[in-house]
Amino acid sequence: MVFRSLTAQMDTAIPQGTFLLSVFGALAQYECALTRERMRSGLEAARRRGKRGGRPQAISAEQRETILAARHAGASKASLYRMFEVKRTTLYHALARAAAQIVPLLQGGA
């Protein structure tokens, strides 16, 4: 495939144009690698300062324990998400995560 610029003197049909296109491609890859390196070092620095990435949890650990205790006592899921004012899917995900943490303990895992 041949690239010919109408406004600049660049034509990949000749060796100089191919070389120029290769140089531009190498510069783009270099800049991408530098950006990736800066991003990683920034994330590592934030972790060292105690920062965590991602979205904050909608249900705190204390709320989760209260929800689990109420659910074990027989409260319905509908009453729980209304009581704690969280979305139904948020409650379901919290219950699923709690169940996933309990199953390895029951199977003798760490």
CA distances from 25 to 5, 6, 79 (A): 16, 20, 59
pLDDT along the chain (110 residues), means of 10: 76 85 94 97 95 85 88 88 88 85 60
Residue 85, phi-psi category: left (phi > 0), alpha (psi -120 to 50), beta (remainder)? left
**What residues pair up with 11 in beta bridges, in sequence order?**
4
pLDDT given for residue 14 in this prediction: 86
pLDDT given for residue 110 in this prediction: 53
pLDDT given for residue 109 in this prediction: 53
Q: What is the DSSP letter of 56?
A: P
Centre a 10 Å sphere on the Cβ of residue 100 and count the other Cβ atoms it contains. Answer: 9
The pTM (predicted TM-score) of the whole model is 0.48
User: Tokens 């290769």 identify what position?
Assistant: 22
Question: What Rg, from alpha-carbon coordinates, does the chain have?
Answer: 28
The two three-digit tokens of residue 67, written as one number:
């929800």
User: Tokens 């899921």 identify what position?
Assistant: 77
The two three-digit tokens of residue 7, written as one number:
């406004």
Q: Where are the domains positioned within the chain?
A: 1-54, 61-106
